[in-house]
Structure 1
Amino acid sequence: MSYITGTGLTPYGKHEGRSSLDLMSMAAQLALDDAGLRRADIDGILCGYSTVSPHIMLATVFAEHFGIKPSYAHAVQVGGATGLAMTMLAHHLVEAGVARHVLVVGGENRLTGQSRDASIQALAQVGHPDYEVPLGPTIPAYYGLVASRYMHDYGVTQQDLAEFAVLMRTHALSHPGAQFHEPISVADVMASKPVALPLKLLDCCPVSDGGAACIVSREPIGDTQVKVRGCAQAHTHQHITAAPALSELGAEIAIAKAREASGLSISDVRYAAVYDSFTITLAMLLEDLGLAGRGEAAAQVRAGYFNRDGAVPLNTHGGLLSYGHCGVGGAMAHLAEAHLQMTGRAGARQVRDATITLLHGDGGVLSSHVSMFLERVR
């Protein structure tokens, strides 16, 4: 058994003069303050990667920078799924008695600390070195290919995908830390410049600076308790040329195993925090997870199902698409928002009921998946 006892989240966007370690430290201190813990209480550290500061021992470099001496330290790399993968590992560590309080942290100055060319080059390495990288595709290009196939198979349109960008921007408007605060419409998404057809600029998450952290503890702290109820992973491929059929991707495998581990079903979910690097990512994952039928997620968005006052509120901070994406910290913002919602501290964004939350992270090109259920037990 483990508990999320604290979370920390910086604003996303530009943080001029801040390094990855600085942003991670900011988020880590916010998480400690949230949990009411001191740095000396932390005996485990799990750290995500940074493309701007690709140190081979980033976890211990951060521990030194932050002034802690943990008995357990580990760095994790599974792309956008890293934040939840680290949280899952922390859950297992405290259950096994290896550590009492594990600090999970990710952050990066990807917007101000890295040139556009360097960022593209770093992210292009997700491709196969022989069969994909030499042809010059970018991450948006891979997802553009996936989107084209998905649209063909399920009758989804570009306007359907645009609905997800509008929803995320609408949610971001009420969060002061979001990178974007200008409202957009479906027409705005359709009019934005092409990036990797059928994906337009507003179908894609931005590049951001920022940091996020959480603390996973063996015992609860405070009156409101958020328990990790069950979690699971699935890794079906690394390169898109080796990917299975769209109907056999890892999200379905991970969620099935997480349901079994937690004893919960999708109908129990009251709040959802789902990875949304692109509009197609969010559309597909909602359907793969069972939150919508095949090809039906956009219709549910239009019907208000995922609104803040809808049946299953989704990414009420604005998600990667509008809160921002700073690498590992990008998806960890979903966890921070979920924790606020579950503990009744989301202010104007507060939903009616977040007692059972489903989180899902995706790494690579729908390659690595982590599903996790959280429960508010008091």
Structure 2
Amino acid sequence: MKSNDVGIIGYGSSAYEKGVSQPTFDYLADAAATCLDSAGICKSEIDGLALSSFMAPPDNAVTLSEYLGLELNWAHVFTAGGAGPVVSILEAVRAVESGAANCVLCVGGDGRTMADFRNMISRFTKAIGNYAAPLNFGGMNGFFAMVQRRHMHEYGTKREQLGRIAVDQRTNALKNPQALFKKPLSLDEYLNARIIADPFRLYDCPMPASGADAILVAPLDKARPGKGVRILSGHQRHNHLPGELSPIQGGWHSFREKLFDEAGLSHADLAFVQAYDDYPIMVSIQLEDLGFCKKGEVGQFLENNTMTFDGSFPLNTGGGQLSCAATAGGGGLIGTVEAVCQLRGEAGERQVANARTGLVSGFGMVSYGHGLSASAMILQKAGS
């Protein structure tokens, strides 16, 4: 390992809550503290800060630095919704490599009530506020229900197949002490839950929660022995397929070959995948677009695999947003936190055997019927 290699040297999370008990900045501070503790780094060493939060504005990364008592050379605020935290980490790596910063804290999360959530969704973009909200569009559930209906119509994808994602992620969550969901979920319960936006039912949708996550980016020679994580490759794509409503292909398709080529790995080399899971259908589209199966064949892929941490295709091994916590600004970061935890061998009962490489993907910035942003990166345990 070269001394000037840059990667991830720490990770952490606040407690997750179904309601809200403190301001957003307090959740972010809690996550930052656990992250620094995992890295063994004092906060005085941090000179870069990347913030992913929907509830923070009009505050931003600079005002958060004031709250945390940090003096910065570099600051960044996400712009791509649930794809943004992965992008923030990639930008943090570039900042350290260029010398713009020495040690960057990437934090994401929100404290929000259901009223906060509804207000945020209705004002998410000008397009939604002006053209969808006045028609009582019912939030993102309605948008992505149409995506699922289209995928089912064009490829014969079945709810029984998609439900395997939700069921297996719940199994993973039961091994995660921080997960909000504590009861097993059966496929029958998934299939027969109350309708939210046909064909979506209750367990297709993540429950809004409060909390935060954090990642620390720095030269890998600052990592505790055996605890560094290298970023082998990473890419982003925005407004893929311009103008198309309810698309069943995302931006991952445009960069998947570069992603794996630059990492020097094949799909079979990965020990796990942490995919942005606002809905099982979007996880499925990511699996197709990233090349784990051909377009339209994800239903059979899900039937052929088990997505639990000890299964044939470990997926969202901490439970993801569907069964651990969906914290808005932290939603795109929870997968990276889980990935680093796995690669450091610190996942306890849900530890994936021989986890040395994994993929994290992000998705977000939904506008008028179109998820605009996709991101992904491939991680490896340093020294592997």
TM superposition score normalised by structure 2: 0.91
Change (3 A) 1:261 1:11: same
Q: Secondary structure at the match of 2:265?
A: coil
- For the Cα contact (< 8 Å) 2:13–2:31, is it kept in 1? yes
2:31 equivalent to 1:30 = no
User: In structure 1, what is the Cα distance between the partners aligned to 2:192 and 2:320?
Assistant: 21
Q: Tell me which amino acid in the other structure corresponds to 2:231.
A: V
Tell me how far 1:65 sits from its aligned partner: 0.8
Query: How far is the alpha carbon of 1:54 from its aligned partner?
Result: 1.9
Alignment of 1:1-378 (within 5 A): 1-14=5-18, 16-50=20-54, 52-55=55-58, 57-111=59-113, 114-115=115-116, 117-123=118-124, 125=125, 127-128=127-128, 131-137=131-137, 138-220=139-221, 221-224=223-226, 225-237=228-240, 242-243=244-245, 246-247=248-249, 249-363=250-364, 364=366, 365-378=370-383
Deviations 1:39-80 (A, max 9, x none): 100010011122x3321x410111111111111112112111
Sequence identity percentage: 30
CA distance in 1, matches of 2:300, 2:237: 28
Amino acid at match of 1:232: H
Q: CA RMSD in A?
A: 2.1
The one-letter amino acid of 2:263's match is: S
Distance 1:226 1:53, change over 3 A: closer
1:362 deviates by: 0.5
Asked if 2 retains the 8 angstrom alpha-carbon contact of 1:15 and 1:210, the reply is: no
Aligned residues of 1:320 and 1:331 also touching (Cα < 8 A): no
Query: How has the CA–CA distance of structure 1 residues 291 and 305 changed in structure 2, closer, same or farther, with 3 Å as cutoff?
Result: farther
**8 A Cα contact 1:325 1:331, kept in partner:** no
8 A contact 2:143–2:246 mirrored in 1 = no
2:336 match: secondary structure: helix
Distance 2:83 2:190 in 1: 26
Q: Which amino acid aligns with 1:34?
A: S
Distance of aligned partners of 1:88 and 1:116 in 2 relative to their CA distance in 1, 3 Å threshold: closer
Cα contact 1:167–1:301 (8 A) shared by 2: no
Q: CA deviation at 1:122?
A: 3.5
Decide whether the 8 Å contact of 2:343 with 2:355 is kept in 1. Answer: yes
Segments of structure 1 that go 5 or more residues without pairing to the other structure are none
Contact 2:18 2:208 in 1 (8 A): no
Give the number of aligned pairs: 372
1:64 alignment partner AA:
E
Cα distance, 1:303 vs structure 2: 3.8
TM-score normalised to structure 1 length: 0.92
In structure 2, relative to structure 1, the CA distance for the partners of 1:59 and 1:195 (3 Å cut) is same
CA apart distance, 1:36: 0.4
- 1:106 shift after superposition: 0.8
Q: Answer whether contact 1:46 1:86 (CA < 8 A) is retained.
A: yes
